[in-house]
Structure 1
Amino acid sequence: MLIITFITMFQGSPPFPAPQSPPPPASPEPQTQRPAPPPQSPETQRSAQANLMEDEEVFEEIRRLRLERGRLLQKIKGLEQQQNSAHTALEELTQLRERLQQAEAERDRLQTELEELKAGQVIGASDSDDDMLDFPGAEKLLSRRSRESPSALDEGEADSLNPTSPGPADPDTVAELRRQLKELALQNQELVLKVQMLEMFEKDDTDMQTSGPDFVPTALYDSLRREFEALQEHYSQAQASAEASSMAGEQG
Structure 2
Amino acid sequence: MAYIELENISFEYPNQTLALNQINLSVEKGQKLAVVGENGSGKSSLFLCLCGIHYPQSGRYILDGEVQKCKRKDRNKLFTKVGYVFQDPEVQLFASTVEKDISFGAINAGMKGEALELCMNEVMAMTQTRELKNKPPHQLSYGQKKRVAIAGVLACKPEVLLLDEPFAWLDAQQKKNTIQILDDLHQQEKTLVISTHDINFVYEWADKLVVMKEGQILATGHPHELLKDEDLIERAGLEMPLVLQLTKKLSLDSTPESMAAFLKV
Q: Does the TM-score normalized on the shorter chain lie above 0.5?
A: no
TM-score by length of 2: 0.16
Mark the structure with the bigger radius of gyration: 1
Q: Specify which structure has the bigger relative contact order, considering alpha-carbon pairs within 8 angstroms and separated by 6 or more residues.
A: 1
TM-score by length of 1: 0.17
Decide which structure has greater helix share: 1
